[in-house]
Amino acid sequence: MAIRIVDEPIKDTYKEQLTVPANNATRNVFPVRFGWGEILIEPAAAMVLGLAPRIQALWFYDASATPKWVNLLDGDMAIINRHVGGDTGTNLDAMQTADYIYVGLLETCLGLYVDMDGSTVNVNAATIAGGYSKNNNTFAALSISSDGTASGGATLAADGLIVWTVPTDWGKFSLADVLADAGAPSAVLRWVRLSVSAALSADVEIEQMAALHTPAVVGDVTTAPGMFNKANQEYTIDLSDEVGALEVIAQAAAGTTVKVSWIKR
């Protein structure tokens, strides 16, 4: 095993406490603070920590607007950055059945964590559907197993996890090429395309979004890159630019906290 020697001085730290979920069937998701490339964690009890892939591209396609493509990762207010208060603003207002949310990643993911603005959620009856970039340069139906954002028959009505079956033939392509649309994103990524069955409310805003890591064992929520068995032991983890979120998963004493220090060098 290679040993990494860090000789760069620490420029800044930011400390917070994350909550371990109540049981092993759930997970608490925390988008990374971009610019902070390292974390020091100290769990109060044994736990599992998942490192989720970063969302590389996030676009809203508004079929009735000009221009049709809206970048939801533009600037400091991007909704995948825990360091700032992101918001989709008015972009998703009255989202129609011909509109789409496109999520682009380098790796596969099990689903999405969605944090809604509590005062501007959808109240219209609608379900969410998904598609994925198949390895034959087409979009295929994504099998969504649960929509934790749904409430009273309305999707995007609450904070929650949208979980699907991870496709085995999930490929990468450019939306501009496959959709034959010069205005579409040209990045070659794995794509998820979300749509709704009916128009959303006049004011719907998402504050944060993150991908979920794909478990090594399909269906096993506790399978993750790191398991930390010793309480009150400090662990240091380097975060690459491809890590988008921390997933805290219960293992022993659920409902406890994890001390996290974000480190900038």
pLDDT of 23: 78
Mean pLDDT of 186-202: 97
Amino acid at 130: G
Can you list the domains of the chain with their CATH numbers?
Answer: 12-52+215-264 (2.60.120.770), 54-211 (2.60.120)
Name residues whose C-beta falls within 8 Å of residue 120's C-beta, 6 or more positions apart in sequence. Answer: 201, 203, 204, 205
- Which tokens in the block code for residue 7? 């000789």
**pLDDT tens by residue, 123-170:** 999 999 999 999 999 999 999 999 999 999 999 999 999 999 999 999
Q: Using 50, 70 and 90 to split pLDDT, how confident is the model at 2?
A: very low
58 or 10: whose pLDDT is higher?
A: 58
Q: Would the pLDDT of 3 be above 50?
A: no
**pTM value?**
0.91
% the chain with pLDDT above 70: 89
6 backbone dihedrals φ, ψ, rounded to 5°: -100, 115
Q: Would the pLDDT of 223 be above 60?
A: no
Residue labelled with tokens 């069937």: 25
256 or 40: whose pLDDT is higher?
A: 40
